[in-house]
Amino acid sequence: MDEYVQHHHPLPEESQRCEALQAALDLIDQGITLVDKDLKLVVWNRCFLRLFDFPPEMAYSGAPFESFIRYNALRGEYGPGDPQQQTAERVAMARSFAEYELERTRPNGTVLSVRGMAVPGRGLITFYSDVTEARHREALIREQNALLEARVAERTAELLQTNAHLRQALEHNEAIALSLVRSEGRMRLITDSIPALLAYFGHDRHYHYVNRGYRDWFGIDPSQPESIKARAFLGEDTYSRIRPYVMQAIRGNAVTFEYEVQTVHRGLRVARTSLIPETSPQGEVVGCFELTFDVTDERLAHDRMAQAQKMEALGLLTGGLAHDFNNILAVVQGNLTALAEIPALSPYLNDYLKPALDAALRGSHLIRGLLSFARKHPLSSRIEDLNLCLARTATLLRGVLPDSLSFVTEPWPQPLLVRLDPNQLQDALLNLALNARDATGGKGRITIRCSMVTLGPEAAAKLDLAAGQYARISVEDDGCGMDQLTMDRVFEPFFSTKALGQGSGMGMAMVYGFVQQSAGAIELRSQVEQGTTVSIFFPLHGRATLPADPVDAPPLVPEIPSEGLRGLALLVEDDPGLRQLLRRELLDIGFSVIEAENGAEALDLIDHTQGIELLLSDVVMPGSIDGLKVVAHARARARSRASC
Amino acid sequence: MSAFVPNRAVAAEVPFLQKPFSRAELQLALSSARS
């Protein structure tokens, strides 16, 4: 201590205190100097000398502070420059005794913090601190901060870029989602517009998609396919019928099947469903596409077509048979009649002739029915009011039907003009009414009703008619009705539900043939134990009043003389036996007879023979010229002769 | 069958006759011939 602090007359106590103070100052890890107003060193400590690497001998009480500054300047502590000037500048600043604080880095890298402040009346006290470590740490922290910031900036840039990519991807996804929504909307619109039921169900048989057809048929909400259960909307019975097909599809086999199903809004429909399995790349069935069409109309049309073809075939068969058989019967009946008319015929022979004639007559009635069915029965069509036909038939029926039966007729308020053969219509109505009587067991109610109806395209198509206005006559009973099997066969010749011997089975066949020949249609509605309604439709004739057409006029006064020689008759008949019989009949009533065995011969005779008074011609003959053409030709010839 | 009287000023025509018919039916048809 003595070597640093100069004591002037130190007292023992003061000396002790100075020594203690110096010892304390030397322990401080901070350099301290106190210079007086003349910049002479008064107080210093070891740390000061160590921080600046000053030689200890430089420090003594009263040492000029300038010597320390110069020492530093000379060893380059203040950087390049003139040491004298550097020293002078620093001494001048110290003399101002202004408070200051600075840091400087020594050439050895040590960073010192120097802080000076005036001690009033005493001089200037200065503190020196080694802040190298602190500054180093601060620099390190700054460097790390900078590095961290750079990393943060780099990471932020990466994140921004990632964000930008994500945003782009999100926008792309949103565009795809929107496109998918639109596409799904279009697909739904298309699938909803298809007149079919479309669905997809998974392997677990849960629906994933159904189209609007399911709402139309079953009242199902298509937006909630997951809540749909086939068993629920099909019903237990239908579902159990189709379940084997579903299981087959689930096993990977495409199937198509038809079934009847009760719908909510459209009644009982016939459905044709195809199930097409969807398989994964591994070959496992993941679900099934379901496509269902309404084939009710198709089935009906097919059934109608089959029925029409069957009836047509039957008609061809029976027509051909009936025509040939009719000629045979005509010969038998004609010859037997001629034989029976021989005067003074033995009664013994008559006993044989009468049963033979009766049998031939029954045979001819049967043939008449067959011909009616085959539409080969010649019709005498004319314009008739259906109401009048009904009135005439009703008179007949009232005499036939039992009193226990309620028989009602309901004519239409206006005339219903139709072109038909009234006799055939009467036969048809009698047949239908007698069938109705049998169906009711004579204790029910029969109503025959005339009406005018307008058939739309759909209703007309079911009857195989063109749309338009029709006159309808219906025979309705509340009898035992018919099952479907009976209804399918009721118009077939010889089909009868009656006991053997009670019905010929020709009644309904005749009605059918007559209606077909009259360009009409029959509708049959029947339910077992509920009754039957047979409706016949005829095209309505356009004219409101009965025509005065000669063709349709009632018969006029006969012009053919009934007695005496009647002139020349042309007989046209292809069957030789029948021709011979008819020739004899004509001769017997006074005609001379020329004969033709077919239409072509007849035309030739008409053209080249004068004075033919009578033409009697078969209708159906071999060759291209039938009896109707022969008559038309003769009529044309007669007109041309009349006008000459 | 159809009977027709062709060479009169107004043609006389009988309705169709359904075979088989008797002589009486033929005569009836001829007598009901219409023009």
Q: In what order do the strands lie in the sheet with A591-596?
A: A591-596, A567-572, A612-617, B2-5, B12-13
CA A447-A452-A453 angle, to 5 degrees, is 105
Q: What does the pLDDT read at residue A498? A: 67
Angstrom distance (rounded) from CA A304 to CA A40: 140
B35 and A613 within 8 Å at the Cβ level: the answer is no
Contacts of A637 in chain B (CB under 8 A): 6-7
Spacing of C-alpha A280 from chain mean position? 26
Please tell me the distance in Å from B17's CA to the nearest CA on chain A. Answer: 8
Nearest CA to A537 out of A552, A520, A554 is that of A520
Query: What chain B residue is nearest to A567 in terms of C-alpha separation?
Result: B5
Q: What does the pLDDT read at residue A436? A: 92
Please tell me the distance in Å from A617's CA to the nearest CA on chain B. Answer: 5
Which site among A571, A614, A617 would you substitute to test the B interface, given the most B Cβ atoms closer than 10 Å to its Cβ?
A614
Give the nearest partner residue to A558 out of B4, B21, B32, using CB atoms.
B32
Question: In terms of pTM, does the model score above 0.80?
Answer: no
Contacts of A293 (CB under 8 A, 6+ apart): A195, A196, A197, A271, A272, A273
Give the nearest partner residue to B5 out of A360, A560, A573, using CB atoms.
A560
Please tell me the distance in Å from A309's CA to the nearest CA on chain B. Answer: 27
Please tell me the distance in Å from B6's CA to the nearest CA on chain A. Answer: 5
Which site among A379, A615, A629 would you substitute to test the B interface, given the most B Cβ atoms closer than 10 Å to its Cβ?
A615
Angstrom distance (rounded) from CA A101 to CA A115: 4
B29 touches A at CB < 8 Å: no
Give the nearest partner residue to A330 out of B12, B19, B27, using CB atoms.
B19
What is the longest distance spanned by two Cα atoms in chain B?
31
CB A275 within 8 A of CB A202: no
Residue A159 corresponds to which amino acid?
A: L
Token look-up 């009529």 returns A635
Nearest CA to A336 out of A351, A316, A321, A356 is that of A356
Contacts of B12 in chain A (CB under 8 A): 558-560
Please tell me the distance in Å from A615's CA to the nearest CA on chain B. Answer: 5
Residue A606 corresponds to which amino acid?
A: I
Q: What does the pLDDT read at residue A547? A: 42
Residue A319 tokens, joined: 């027509």
Please tell me the distance in Å from B25's CA to the nearest CA on chain A. Answer: 11
Give the nearest partner residue to B6 out of A378, A556, A637, using CB atoms.
A637
Contacts of A559 in chain B (CB under 8 A): 5, 8, 10, 12, 33, 35
Query: What chain A residue is nearest to B20 in terms of C-alpha separation?
Result: A330
Q: What is the pLDDT of residues B1-35, one digit of tens each?
A: 544 444 333 334 555 666 677 777 777 777 665 43
CA A600-A601-A603 angle, to 5 degrees, is 65
Nearest CA to A490 out of A475, A508, A510 is that of A508
Q: What does the pLDDT read at residue B10? A: 33
A615 and B5 within 8 Å at the Cβ level: the answer is yes
B28 touches A at CB < 8 Å: no
Contacts of A368 in chain B (CB under 8 A): 18
Give the nearest partner residue to A642 out of B4, B9, B21, using CB atoms.
B9
List per-block mean pLDDT (blocks of 10 residues) for chain A, which spans 644 residues: 48 83 90 92 92 92 93 91 93 88 90 90 90 89 89 92 94 93 88 87 87 85 79 86 92 93 86 93 92 89 79 75 80 84 80 85 79 68 89 84 90 91 86 89 92 90 88 94 88 72 70 87 92 94 48 34 64 86 83 90 89 82 85 82 64
Q: What does the pLDDT read at residue A422? A: 86
Q: What does the pLDDT read at residue A376? A: 64
Contacts of A635 in chain B (CB under 8 A): 4, 6, 11, 13
Q: What does the pLDDT read at residue B15? A: 54
φ/ψ of residue A105, rounded to 5: -105, 125
CB A413 within 8 A of CB A432: no
B27 and A562 within 8 Å at the Cβ level: the answer is yes
Q: What does the pLDDT read at residue A272? A: 94
Contacts of A536 (CB under 8 A, 6+ apart): A428, A472, A473, A474, A511, A515, A520, A521, A522, A523
Q: What does the pLDDT read at residue B8? A: 38
B4 and A614 within 8 Å at the Cβ level: the answer is yes
Query: What chain A residue is nearest to B22 in terms of C-alpha separation?
Result: A334
Contacts of A360 (CB under 8 A, 6+ apart): A329, A332, A333, A336, B20
Number of A–B residue contacts, CB under 8 Å: 119
B33 and A555 within 8 Å at the Cβ level: the answer is yes
Contacts of B32 in chain A (CB under 8 A): 555, 558
